Chains A and B, each alone.
Chain A
Amino acid sequence: MLQGHQTWVFKSRPTIIASAAVGGPHEAQGPLAADFDLLHEDIWLGQDSFEKAEKKLQEQACETAIKKANMKKEDVQFLLAGDLINQTVPSSFAARTLGVPFLGLYGACSTSMEGLALASLLVDSKFAKNVLVCSSSHNAASEKQYRYPTEYGAQKPPTAQWTVTGSGAAMVTDHGEGPKVTTATIGRVIDMGLTDPFNMGAAMAPAAVDTIEAHFRDLKRDPSYYDVIATGDLGRVGHRIAGDLLKKHGMDIPEEIFTDCGILIYSKDQPVVLAGGSGCACAATTTFGHFLNRMRKGELKKILIIATGALLSPMSFQQKESIPSVAHAVSIEL
């Protein structure tokens, strides 16, 4: 049901009956390593290309989520998946393996929450019983896609972020026990004219702020309603900017509940990640792994995840276009 301008309220409260997170070597060194179901030491995953490795990540995340839900592939009506690679091939190829009716998504790094919002909509409207959501990113494949070859020795500025290697999947159903998806706010595309692809956090922060404000305005809620409000992958730089912008707009979110998946996923003594994590898998693995695990343990009751995506392509950047961004917010409650 639509409430306010751009927020969906799911009356039937679709359940995330199971979720899974798969990660790579840097995620294994991070503080959230225990929340991953599967961690790989080798970024190739035994495949002969990074793109195939990313496909493998998605397959494993989906299969783990299906297994944890005590289901079979045949029980899943739809798979909603996306990633960052050209024409989202890892998702399509993983869907080929699973053989489940498939809708491909692209929302850059906001794909995880875009998928979760749409899956909840499908379940809430009774157009599906069980919907699987998945998104992935692979550090080396993204570097190849957006920047330079992985072994190229270009110096990155400290505002640059490290694409998470991993994949997160969640099974949204109309029955069962578990965290419930209650509302979703779909964001507008915001462009403040930033052009630096090595500072995506700053480009995405205004989009996150716009969606957060829309969420609380539409639902007439106060930020203190939530135990955790986490942005997707703004990193240390973008998260500060988002916090400052919100304060300027008169919305004060207490610092202890306002956090960012890109900051949480890596520890401070991992200098390689620079300003923090990014990529489709950043919000996906942190939400579907870390946050949902904490909810199941009862540590968190109500969380709001705002996944942010920078909608640029290498070509648009070279043609001197600025970086438009989008953010989607989904609230999960017990």
Chain B
Amino acid sequence: MFFVTYFHFSQESSGNPTVAVLIILTVLLTGFGVFDHIAQWAGAGTIIPVTGFANTIASAAIEHRSEGYVLGVGGNMFKLAGPVIVYGVFSAFVVSIVIIIFRALGVM
């Protein structure tokens, strides 16, 4: 609503900046060390989609800072988020092939 009222976003396009704000908030909360306490209390409410994903990346990056910026932070940042990306991209690929087949058969 904030973006629709003040920045002239439409109902549909306001989703993107909202997600960006959620991500920034999560990363900040993770960095200040309060996100894990909120999650222990709130459970799935904090894990689902964007905030959980942002938290996995930020927490892994902080954790492995002591091993250096390249092999530590760079190499471990996607340790927890990696599987989500791999299987997210792969399942999108499978679904799109299914849709192409259905279209070719003239079902849709």
| Interface of A toward B, CB cutoff 8 Å | 48-51, 144, 148-156, 272
When distances are taken between beta carbons in the complex, the residues of chain A under 8 Å from B47 are 153-155
Within the complex, which residue of A48, A51, A144, A152 is in contact with B36, where a contact is CB–CB below 8 Å?
A152
Within the complex, which residue of A144, A148, A149, A155 is in contact with B43, where a contact is CB–CB below 8 Å?
A155
Mark B69-92 against chain A: 1 for CB-CB distance below 8 A, else 0. Answer: 000000000001000000000000
Cβ B66 vs Cβ A154 within 8 A: no
When distances are taken between beta carbons in the complex, the residues of chain B under 8 Å from A151 are 30-31, 33, 35-36, 55, 58-59, 62-63
Number of B residues, CB within 8 Å of A: 23
Q: How far is the CA of A51 from the CA of B46 in the complex (A)?
A: 29
Within the complex, which residue of A49, A152, A156 is in contact with B59, where a contact is CB–CB below 8 Å?
A152
Cβ A150 vs Cβ B63 within 8 A: yes
Question: What would 25 A/B residue contacts be, using CB atoms closer than 8 Å?
Answer: A48-B66, A49-B66, A51-B66, A149-B59, A149-B62, A149-B63, A149-B64, A149-B80, A150-B36, A150-B62, A151-B58, A151-B62, A151-B63, A152-B55, A152-B60, A153-B35, A153-B46, A153-B52, A153-B59, A154-B39, A154-B47, A155-B40, A155-B43, A155-B47, A272-B40
Mark B35-52 against chain A: 1 for CB-CB distance below 8 A, else 0. Answer: 110111001101100001
When distances are taken between beta carbons in the complex, the residues of chain B under 8 Å from A153 are 30, 35-36, 38-40, 46-47, 52, 55, 59
When distances are taken between beta carbons in the complex, the residues of chain A under 8 Å from B63 are 144, 149-152
Q: How far is the CA of A224 from the CA of B43 in the complex (A)?
A: 45
Q: How far is the CA of A49 from the CA of B66 in the complex (A)?
A: 6
A-B contacts besides A153-B36, A153-B39, 4 pairs, CB < 8 Å: A150-B63, A151-B36, A151-B58, A155-B40
Most buried by B among A151, A154, A155: A151
Cβ A148 vs Cβ B55 within 8 A: no
Q: How far is the CA of A144 from the CA of B64 in the complex (A)?
A: 9
When distances are taken between beta carbons in the complex, the residues of chain B under 8 Å from A150 are 36, 59, 62-63
Cβ A149 vs Cβ B66 within 8 A: no
Q: How far is the CA of A149 from the CA of B46 in the complex (A)?
A: 16
Q: How far is the CA of A51 from the CA of B63 in the complex (A)?
A: 12
Q: How far is the CA of A42 from the CA of B55 in the complex (A)?
A: 23
When distances are taken between beta carbons in the complex, the residues of chain A under 8 Å from B31 are 151
Most buried by B among A49, A150, A152, A153: A153
